Amino acid sequence: MYLLAPASPKEFINRALWFKSPEARKLQSQKKVEFGFEIKGPLKEITQAPDLFWGVHLPIELATNWYYDPSKRKSLIEEVKRVTKLRPNYAVLHGIALRWTPPAKDYIHRYFNLADTKNYQKVLQANVKLINILKNIAPLKIENGQVVDFYQQRPFSPYTCLHTGIQKFMDMIYLKKKTGVEIVLDIEHLILTLNFLNRTKNYRNIPIEKISDLTADDKKLKTIFGFILKKNYIPYLRKKISFEKVLPCFGAKYYHLTGTTQDAVFGKKILSHGPISPTNKTFRKHLKLVLAQRPEVLVLETASSGHGNAWNHLRSNETEISFENMCKILLEEL
């Protein structure tokens, strides 16, 4: 099994030192865990490969930009081809997100679905097409996103809105079957999606308006995505589903990990990409379920204060501390 640290190309040398800490060396010798990197950031900055196992996280907006701007498709694909020549062990892709502008002030209506079934079917097939293109170029894997995201991207705002599109929930299984491409399961994204669909944590007060007259197309969409996704309604589940029950359904061997179980304290601060602590019982419970799937790669996705204003409440070395904590936890759990 591999434990990967997040890194930019400029951070390889410094972050490789993490792998020489006493806890990391003990994890390697006692549990046979190896180390490496998952690289994020603009592809143009990746000009050389680290001398370790490594993956590249393709830009989050790559699929969305490919879909909405056909004039950029050739250049986007060419840039992936260039990075692939550096021989990453894998490349991970987010799905196409539906672009829309949520209402500026209306809290509830920020969560209404404004796309119809035909739109989702069209975008879904486009996503399949892109995956099939990229899997012939790169050692591709697909990552799940989340159905809610922050209301303002820049600067970050401690409020959320609906963020539908492809590769959000159970459609990951549909895509895996259609394309043969394996899943990178982001635990935080899955938790936040379940928070919304189950109406827990920040979403307890979001109403559920149940629909009794689903069309055949609505039912087909529900089968693919795993939840009710009808135009002019807030998405919801017919029946609540737990993290424990849904995790094994994906058959994932690669995982992104953070200590987060809530996206924000609304109006106060962002909680996403939160640190990993040995005393976090919920994280331990989730990790046990992940380890039961016999994972091949675990990737830290925790943030530090240097990641931007949204994480000023964290320490400057928070990611390094989380990596050290992860080594300690794995020594106990493996």
pLDDT tens digits for range 105-130: 678 889 999 999 999 999 999 999 99
pLDDT tens digits for range 157-172: 788 999 999 999 999 9
Q: At 262, phi and psi to the nearest 5?
A: -150, 140
Q: Are 9 and 41 in contact (CB under 8 A)?
A: yes
pLDDT at 156: 63
What single string gives the DSSP state of each residue in 178-232? HH-PPEEEEHHHHHHHHHHHTT-GGGTTS-----S---HHHHHHHHHHSSB--TT
pTM, two decimal places: 0.96
Q: Are 241 and 292 in contact (CB under 8 A)?
A: no
Q: What are the residue ranges spanned by the domains of the chain?
A: 2-333
pLDDT at 153: 56
pLDDT at 307: 84
Question: What is the pLDDT tens value at each position of the chain, 334 positions in all?
Answer: 999 999 998 898 899 999 999 999 999 999 999 999 999 989 999 999 999 999 999 999 999 999 999 999 999 999 999 999 999 999 999 999 998 888 766 788 899 999 999 999 999 999 999 999 999 999 999 999 999 998 865 566 788 999 999 999 999 999 999 999 999 999 999 999 999 999 999 999 999 999 988 999 999 999 999 999 999 999 999 999 999 999 999 999 999 999 999 999 998 889 999 999 999 999 999 999 999 999 999 999 999 988 888 888 889 999 999 999 999 999 999 9
> Domain 2-333 maps to which CATH number in 3.40.50, 3.10.20, 3.20.20, 1.10.3470?
3.20.20
